[in-house]
A and B are shown apart, each in its own frame.
Chain A
Amino acid sequence: MDVYISPDSVVHFVFLSTRKRLRLRVTPLLIECLEWLDGSASVLELDERYEARASSLDVKHSSSFTSFIQYLYGKGILVRKDWMQHSFCPEKVRRYSRQLNFFLDIEESEAAATALLKRIMDCRVALIGVGAVGSWILRELVQIGFQRFIIVDPKELKLTDRTRNAFFDHRLIGRPKAMVAESFVHGQVLKPETRAVRAPLDIDTNVEELIGSDVDLIINTADEPYIGATSIKLSRYCVTKRLPLLVAGGFDAHLASLSEMIVPGQTPCSDCYAKHFEETLRGWKPISHPIVDRRRGFGGLPSLSAFAASAAVLKIVRLLSERGGDIEQGRGEFLFDQYSIDSFKVERNPECSTCGDLGRLRAHAD
């Protein structure tokens, strides 16, 4: 928060994250006391100091300092100095204090900020694909406190991963990427709970056998056979299980996509997206490319993978937060050329054969 005081004794509290402002007209004495609120004295001590100051200045005051503090606390302007220690052990406080402060800005209450970090620590994530974007997503998830993972990737780390994989280490070339990622998680988080699966997600894979049934969120970054196909498969699974699915990376022509969060019944599903693009791209038909095998022909930059991964992790934080904004419906794309974001809305298709029923059920319940 920023706090400003204008000459007419009006205090402006500015919530920097939401730009929300609260204006209060208070006595000059209370303004003086605001600077005492740095966490070094208890409320009782401050109250005594306030009374002493008031009588030395010989000013009349109706309400107590304590009730002023209570008012500001209720508005989310004040927090207890040790609010993190009430919920987290010292090691977690050391590691996550800056982040808890961030959550406090977003959620605007101690309880909600605490709950958000706890949800992050409890969330069981299935990550499909540890490639250019997937590896960076995992690194960031670990940084912010996720610790329960199922990591699926069929391939081994190779030399050319130097330009794309967040876990690249030339000494680990040849090792399965799922295992490399798993051992990274074990080295970094406080209470790891992981399973590495060295297998592909194919069109005929049984998803539940692959990742198990104890999952809260699936992240798909698998580019083979083709992310569109694996996403439709996973999205259908997620609709039946009512699980959120994040689709990130994996697109050759979408180097820094902001990713798609699919929440069954609330956002379009992969079938809705596929239908939408089938219609909007109807007139866009490239000639069949003279080069048949183009796998080594596409470009990418580590900085764009990092951008895409970061945008994806922001969506996950927003999904788990209480006030992180609406769950967007649509796609966005960061364009390298001028650093612009190209975004467009996609609505749920009420006739969708996969998720249409969920909408009808919801409408009925409403």
Chain B
Amino acid sequence: MQIEFSPGSHWLIRPSVSVIPVGDGVFDFFQSSTRRSVRFRLSSEIASVIRGLDGRQCLEDICEVHNASVPQISHLMEALHERCAVEPRAVRDAIDAAEHYRVLNFLGDYFPAAELFAAFERLRSTRIAIVGCGAVGSWTAVQLAHSGFENFTLIDGDHVEESNLNRSIFLHEDIGAPKVEAIASALHRISHRVQVRRVREHVHDANGIRALLSEARPDVIVNCADEPSVDLTSEWINDYSQHQGVPYVIAGGYNLHLSLIGMTVSPGVSACFNCSRITLDELEDKSLQGVRRLWRPKRNLGSLAPLTGITSSLATSEVLRLAVRSERLRPAMWNRRGEFNFLTNELSFVNLPPRSECGCTSDGKETDKEQRSLI
């Protein structure tokens, strides 16, 4: 979108931004959605202009009222626009008229008005593949559709059973239906624009998953498959990801009272799954070394809906960060994984940096250099 800072242009303080005088002519521009802020020192004439910046008057007119210099204001608008504190009137009108205005307002904390709609368009058209459509997979799919994503490939060979209902989005009437069909119906209830490729297949090995993904050609993969184990399916998806340059999110799952938050992998940019293995092996609990684990084939692990909700919430946010493909909003789960504790409400993370032994990133060091492309 073409943005002008000319004397005739109309600007306003973004409605979700609060402006707080903190003394000494310094003003805090506080973004309420993301709770970040940026400070500017303003002269009293400029501060008066800011107080009246409602988008109805053009910059020239409002400067005249407050005796402020037009070039100075134009310059300030450029700086405030870059820091997502102001927006042009035309962009505000377009957001107000949009169905996804809440998502746009949120992204507006990261993307200046000039880039906002393009970022949302990238999100909308991103092709998502969800591998494994159980509890976390079903929740993630639905949250993505509510967020505006429209292009899905769902991979799962199971049918909905009564025992799934206590933690997934499946409904009583879905019992007996293939999980991918049940999720497809849920997505279509949210929007008829959503396109869903349903792949009713189990994943058994790296070759199988590669074949399915090569056909789907996703832009982002979400791994929610815990059969045979999250570690194995992540290894397989990692393999495809590193070869094809496609990023993925490990959705995690739950372990007793913990919601696990998996890592996000952008090939060549962040640590891959094999890097994380190297680090995790080093961190292994030493107090139980040399002991044997009792073999127990039929374990019934517990689960609870809200822990699924938290795991899928973070997976959804990570997909969104990958989908906007920008330095302005990067994945928060690169090079780490986390846990949310049911008993204490605490989030904790383990750092999993790129490892040179793995060889997946060029130098194996924390990649802070400019990313070629995030996706």
Contacts and interface: CB of A to CB of B under 8 A. Distances in A.
A298 B33 contact: yes
A159 B99 contact: yes
Interface in B301-320: 301-310, 312-314, 316-317, 320
B173 interface: yes
Interface string A113-151: 000000000000000000000001001100111000000
Nearest to B312: A306
Contacts of B33: 253, 255, 298-300, 336
A287 B20 contact: yes
B90 interface: no
Contact of B32 (A188, A296, A298, A301): A298
Q: Chain A interface residue count: which class?
A: 35 or more
A38 B300 contact: no
Given A34-B294, A101-B300, A303-B313, A163 B306 contact: no
A95 B314 contact: no
Contact of A101 (B53, B302, B305, B313): B302
B290 interface: yes
Contacts of B19: 286-287, 289
- Tell me the dominant secondary structure on chain B's binding face: mixed
Given A304-B313, A306-B143, A341 B346 contact: yes
Given A94-B162, A290-B51, A299 B102 contact: yes
A252 interface: yes
A300 B105 contact: yes
A287 B163 contact: no
B244 interface: no
Contacts of A339: 261, 314, 317, 332-333, 338, 347, 349
B292 A4 contact: yes
Nearest to B310: A310
Contacts of B18: 286, 289
B207 interface: no
A287 B165 contact: no
Contacts of B298: 38-39
A2 interface: yes
A136 B309 contact: yes
A4 B255 CA distance: 18
Interface string A336-353: 111111110000000000
A294 B18 CA distance: 11
A75 B309 CA distance: 32
Interface in A1-28: 2-7, 12, 16-18
Nearest to B165: A95
B251 to A, nearest CB: 12
A299 B296 contact: no
Contact of B301 (A98, A106, A255): A98
A104 interface: yes
- Chain B residues touching A, range: 35 or more
Given A12-B291, A289-B18, A302-B316, A106 B309 contact: no
Contacts of B146: 162-164, 168, 302
B124 to A, nearest CB: 12
A118 to B, nearest CB: 15
Nearest to B27: A287
A289 B302 contact: no
A34 B35 CA distance: 53
A203 interface: no
Contacts of A282: none
Nearest to A256: B313
B34 A35 contact: no
B188 to A, nearest CB: 9
User: In the complex, which of the residues B13, B32, B53, B303 has the most CB atoms of chain A within 10 Å of its own CB atom?
Assistant: B32
A362 interface: no
Interface stretch (A55-63, A66-74, A223-231, A324-332): A324-332
By Cβ-Cβ distance, the 8 closest A-B pairs, closest first, are A297-B15, A102-B302, A299-B106, A310-B309, A101-B302, A299-B105, A299-B33, A253-B32
B345 A328 contact: yes
Contacts of B55: 291
Given A16-B256, A303-B143, A306-B143, 7 more contacts: A4-B292, A95-B162, A188-B171, A287-B19, A300-B33, A301-B102, A301-B316
B76 to A, nearest CB: 15
Interface stretch (A194-202, A208-216, A267-275, A311-319): A311-319
A239 B290 CA distance: 56
A255 to B, nearest CB: 6
